[in-house]
Chains A and B, each alone.
Chain A
Amino acid sequence: MAASRVSCAAAASYRLFLGGRVSLARRQGVWKAAAAELQTGAVFQILRLRHTTGVTTKKNVAALRRETYTVDFIKKQIEEFNIGKRHLANMMGEDPETFTQEDIDRAIAYLFPSGLFEKQARPIMKHPEQIFPKQRAIQWGEDGRPFHFLFYTGKQSYYSLMHEAYGKLLEAEKHQNQLQAKGLFSEKTKDLIGSRWLIKEELEEMLVEKLSDQDYAQFIRLLERLLTLHGGVEEEFVQRFRRSVTIQSKKQLIEPVQYDEQGMAFSTSEGKRKSAKAEVVVYEHGSGKIKVNGIDYLLYFPVTQDREQLMFPFCFLDRLGEHDVTCTVSGGGRSSQAGAIRLAVARALCSFVTKEEVEWMRQAGLLTPDPRVRERKKPGQEGARRKFTWKKR
């Protein structure tokens, strides 16, 4: 009955259809199992309350319906993917056994070149587990009994995790009390540098469940409490929820030190700011002379501000008069040329300086190229932001 109503296309009948459906739902929300039981006359069985409503009150529109993929469907997709992978390897003339995901990506990019900007709109061939969203299978067996003992809470994975963590906490407390009774208690310091807690989205992905902010905060608090106690067994349990954090300074490219004909150590690097490009050579031992495009910096940069910009990297490292600098710069104006040289000088100095000082320079912002560029002028406005004078009448 409901199916035939779906097929009618008139927009006017939509509201009628929805209203009718609601009342249908109410009447259909009968204990179907109970009705069946009464008919067969088996009185002794408990009328298992199987709450079934044939229709829901939501709009049955494709865009709003959450697509549920059956286990068989996913398995078929995986088989097709594996066969397709082998065909692709044959096509590219490579060995099907050692064809990795990167090879697949390269092959697809070669066979189906696409100029689309959106990377996710280009043709992709990935394992079905990465394409189809992870879903939960049916949580109960044929007899109607759910599999998990915390099923009726709604968030079974999250609460079972909390239950497990709390159990470990109790064990650790007991262990600590025993140690204290024996007198073997000692303060423990854990170093958790280089790792961070999972963020809420990562935890949601791990549990395949929606969480609230309070749930997440409670969980992190419990784990931190667990960490303050003794007991080596909990380390692995807690490490499951920590991710390593790559320290930014490790990614810093340090220029190699080169030696010229006289045996003087120097290092070269480049820097950019707006449209100015600078190439700089910094000598390790010198007396603080700076030459820009063959001209002394005092004459090339008459403004104090520009010269201060050049001096800043040396000032920061307390090496004001120790290095000689020769640089070439082109493009931009006086301020952007100064900025470009400053960045290049800072990068070059990285090779003469310790790792901590490199990290300090990075934190001071000396090694970050300034991303600001001139904003374009828009039509209908006088400049990039300035609008034409507004006249009331």
Chain B
Amino acid sequence: MLIDLREEYKRMGLPNNYWQLSDVNRDYRVCDSYPTELYVPKTATAHIIVGSSKFRSRRRFPALSYYHKDNHVSICRSSQPLSGFSARCLEDEQMLQAIRKASPGSDFIYVVDTRPKLNAMANRAAGKGYENEDNYSNIKFQFIGIENIHVMRNSLQKMLEVCELKSPSMSDFLWGLENSGWLRHIKAILDAGVFIAKAVSEEGASVLVHCSDGWDRTAQVCSVASLLLDPHYRTLKGFMVLIEKDWISFGHKFNHRYGNLDGDPKEISPVIDQFIECVWQLMEQFPCAFEFNERFLIHIQHHIYSCQFGNFLCNSQKERQELKIQERTYSLWAHLWKNRGDYLNPLFRDDPSQTQGTLHLPTTPCNFMYKFWSGMYNRFEKGLQPRQSVTDYLMAVKEETQQLEEELEALEERLEKIQKVQLNRTQVKSKQSEPSKHSGFSTSDNSTANTPQDYSGNTKSFPSRSPSQGDEDSALILPQDNLKSSDPDLSANSDQESGVEDLSCRSASGGECAPSEDSGKDPDSDEAVFLTA
């Protein structure tokens, strides 16, 4: 299954009056870590692009990451400008102007530097740095303050040390977790994404995002913002597209960051892991907004390191092309898509009015919103997980319901046919002057013991929960209202354990369907229908 980024840009509504496809990088001559196909503002000529690229670290000039159709606002990404203390570049300034002009209705753009101010200033001494508001007309500059790859590497290291403690006390664990600073970093990335999403959706202002080289924090922040803004990226396919676009095509250095080869240990950093965790934190906050589940994220993360698939090899599109990765390796996306049944979120609501387009993350109170992701960091430890997967259980219930509904449809069709046959027969009989008119159905036909009225009467009126039961729902919330209440019979033999909860060692993970056990609970003639069929 191929992910075609052209399709994705088309879905965003491009090219249009303001944005065009540029082939200026078609041989990677302008920037060797960028893709060959990029979208730039219509007013950005090749000259401007090339000039701007010379003024940007690694030649990574401002290019489009996400286009918000609703209000023509864009998120662009680049690397830091080589401004030093006082250098200027006309083409780069024109580039930013072009971006602003490409979003009509907005008289300024945000330039978001995701680094801490101190780091950005230090870069100036090396001839790099950040945009000076005085030089660039109509920009509002903003530091966000996400730490660099070395800090993140150490943070993960410390957190894993906490995870490896044998029998930590509560104090050890909480102190250790806080000292690692890991959740603080996750929050910083999410906050940045929220800022950008707000700028785009509420203020209608385009944003240019960069860090140092524009391939780590920039990628994280742009993809988080896109996720918040566009529900398409919250679907299975959309998420794959997002990673293909903002991480793979835009030259995130997979080989270096994830130690695919025996390289420089200082290049290693859990950058995409942090992004994946941000997605998980969002899933916990918005359980109905994502089409995929936690397992999807964990498997993707696993395969980024496994090197089993070619998507995450090499450091740039150029390298992949040279090594003919597409012809010589398999794509993870095809593999995941084939097994997508395992990755679905049973609570997903794809009704657009329900999924509220843009996700709004509450900003206060927020401290305890960030949970420790034991599903990721303790996933190989026995006895540490919730040993019952509500997701799997719900999926099983959903599948069974679907099967039952399909059977229902099939039976209804059969019934219709039989009714037609009956009708023809009685019509024939009435032509033979049969006096009494039945409801149209001959009782001499033994194949249906139930009359259709009974059947339709019972299937339409499902027993709804009586109001006095109130909120005694189990942890399982069946999403559709017209489901029969097929709560498992928890009072008798629990399907998974013999009733003894063993909190210290692992029990067999379940997933067996309890719903089939409670057939005794539904005395309606739904049962009877099956019996006669």
Is chain B found bound to chain A in the same assembly? no
The interface of chain B, by Cβ under 8 A from chain A, is: none
